[in-house]
Amino acid sequence: MALTVPVRLGTAENTLIEQLNSVGAAAEAERITVAGLPTRRVESYHYTDLKMLLKAIPPLAQAANEASAPALRIAGAYQLMIANGVVQAASTAPAGVIVGKTAGGVLSTRDDVLVHLNGALAKESLTLTLENSVDPVIQIDRRIEGEAAHAADSVKIFVADGASAVILETFSGSDAAHVGNHGTYMALGKNAVVTHVTVDLSSRSAAHFASNEYHLADGAKLRTLVIHAGAGLSRTQVFPRYEGAGAHGDITGLNLVSDGQHADITMDALHAVPGTTSQPLFKSIARGRGKSVVQGKLVVARDAQKTDAKFMHQGLMLSDEAEILSKPELEIYADDVVCGHGSTCGKLDEDSMFYLESRGIPTAEAETMLVRGFLEELVDPIEDEALAEALHGIIDGWLLAGK
């Protein structure tokens, strides 16, 4: 047996070990005992050192007694709710939507601490089967209520061949120092068309973690949009797997960070078969001493010829102290592919500001216009008008808050 230097465990790690043991997840507890939470030395957590950032873990969540107001209301949406990890009773589902629940978590095993924790701690999962195209937006309202709690929840979605749907997930809750760990597994059937928007609107004192795993069959088209606009610390991991010819993903995301916030979107995509395409596009806006991290990894399997994928990140710095970090990674085993990455980062363009102001538009309003313009590429493709409007509302709210 190899000798390893034991890591020094902190308060957060000790609590996690206790919690994992209390739910019988001895293997996961052992993993943390041996390795601790990932530090900057772990490649995929290089910019989001959980050991440093997670000072304490609140007690495991108890059932919620009260619910705060919905973080976002979309007119006409079909609403589902998970509160403190417990799937709530749902109203009658639209035609072709089957709602259920299943024990345990849903994410595929992978070497990632957040995925392990979700698997060990999620007691039950909401399951959604979409047998045909669904008109209303499906909103899954995931929240953590009451005293500060560590809550894990999970959702599994099957989209039948040829079906289409718009699914919105919102994350919110009471104003306490929660740690949320959310998992979503989605399988898209052949030629399914899905828009999946996930918006973190939890309180500034909370930590928000989400892992979204997607499996795309032949011809499936997926558009995702992650928006971080709430928690003090947030990380959403996006794991798309293009498993059928012609599958396409527009994987997008936006970190809106203010002073003291740290937001991280980490994509790890696998183009597994020939003839799949993706256009990952992420944007960061940071002000104060806010920190935004965007990582994008494209893995192209040996026989996944004709893969066409480009990772793009664009950052907008609204202050000198803000930090925007981006890391692309290409791991390409096929030889006949078009893959790339690009990244830009800058301030609001002075010439553009002057042009708008020279037409009588005051400075603050001109800034808002330019920021909205910068983000239009992300919101514009969302075809549901009520949803697009709600997303504009979140962005405007962030801009207006000014800090």
Partner 1 sequence: MTTPILEIRNLHARIEDREILKGVNLIIPPGEVHAVMGRNGSGKSTLSYVLAGKEDYEITDGEVLLDGENLLDMEPHERAAAGLFLAFQYPIEIPGVATMTFLKAAINSQRKARGEGELSTPDFMRAVKTAGTELNIDTDMLKRPLNVGFSGGEKKRAEVLQMALLQPKMCILDETDSGLDIDALQVVSKGVNALRNGNRSMLVITHYQRLLNHIVPDVVHVFSDGRIVESGDKDLALQLEAKGYADFDGAAA
What residues make contact with partner 1 under the rule CB under 8 A?
349-352, 354-363, 365-366, 369-370, 372-377
- DSSP structure string for 317-372: ESSSS-EEEEEEEEEE--SS-EEEEEEEEE---HHHHHHHHTTT--HHHHHHHHHH
Amino acid letter for position 400? L
| Cα 230 from Cα 398, distance rounded (Å) | 9
- Comparing CB distances to partner 1, the nearer of 239 and 374 is 374
CB of 363 to partner 1, least distance (A): 7
- Comparing CB distances to partner 1, the nearer of 333 and 355 is 355
- Comparing CB distances to partner 1, the nearer of 84 and 252 is 252
Amino acid letter for position 301? A
And the tokens for 392? 């504009």
CB of 293 to partner 1, least distance (A): 24
129 DSSP 8-state letter: E
* Cβ within 8 Å of residue 17, ≥6 positions away: 9, 29, 32, 33
CB of 209 to partner 1, least distance (A): 31
CB of 388 to partner 1, least distance (A): 14
Centroid of chain to Cα 85: 17
- Comparing CB distances to partner 1, the nearer of 59 and 346 is 346
Q: Is the Cα torsion angle 221, 161, 139, 65 positive or negative in sign?
A: negative
- Comparing CB distances to partner 1, the nearer of 86 and 361 is 361
CB of 395 to partner 1, least distance (A): 12
| Cα 182 from Cα 189, distance rounded (Å) | 23
How large is the C-alpha radius of gyration of the chain? 21
CB of 311 to partner 1, least distance (A): 20
- Comparing CB distances to partner 1, the nearer of 330 and 370 is 370
